[in-house]
Amino acid sequence: LAEQIMDDLGDEAAAFQVDARGASVVALFADLRGFTRITESIGVDHVVGMLNEYFSVLTEVAYENDGTIFSMAGDSLLVGFNVPFDQVDAPARAFRTAEAMVSRFAPVAAAWRKRHGAEAGIGIGMCRGEAIIGNVGSPHYMSYTVIGDTVNTAARLMQMAKASELLLSGAAYQAIRELVPAGRVESRGEVALRGKSGATPVYSIRL
């Protein structure tokens, strides 16, 4: 059946298959800390509105720094830099995005605390490296996305990050180290991330 569908689609299916390329990217994952407690204690009508506030802040910041938004799922957001267009300062753009996401979300979090007694913050993971960019899915439903170890590492770092913390891979940190004020960075050493065969150099920056 799958072969028949591909034959019927002809050139459309061929275009779907080849529209992919390798690229050097900076992947940034942001995630809302405290969201599980929020959903447990606050009505669904409020939760949807709060998520809209949260994503409005994050997407606005991403676009201001010319980031490409690849996915928005649950309470996490994936933003890529140096894709689809070259950005020689991609790591700096990603770092500025992380800083602005946290600072611009702070008044929103304060309002949530006042209205609902909810504590929330943003944890961010960032990795620099090679990835695959292209259409992923099927000929009937495709999504332009970025995949690969760089993205997976950024996701693992995001999962570990605390509120107002940016966790970076070694390559990402080396690219932006001159932008980080003294005293805000801490080396976590070589960390064994879930799903990776080797250890990854990890740095923590308080935002």
Model pLDDT, residue 103: 98
Rounded to two decimals, the pTM is 0.88
78 falls in which pLDDT band (50, 70, 90)?
very high
Whether 65 shows a pLDDT value over 70: the answer reads yes
204 falls in which pLDDT band (50, 70, 90)?
very high
List, for residues 99-109, the tens digit of each pLDDT value. Answer: 999 999 999 99
8 falls in which pLDDT band (50, 70, 90)?
low
Amino acid identity for residue 154 in this structure: A
| Percent above pLDDT 90 for the chain | 70
Task: Give the number of other CB atoms < 10 A from CB of residue 69.
Answer: 14
Helices (H), 29-127: 35-41, 44-64, 90-116
List, for residues 20-42, the tens digit of each pLDDT value. Answer: 889 999 999 999 998 888 888 78
- The CA distance from 103 to 89, in Å, is 21
For residue 155, give the nearest of 85, 83, 80, 92 by alpha carbon: 80
Backbone angles phi, psi at 140, to 5 degrees: -90, -25
Sign of CA dihedral 156, 88, 73, 20: negative
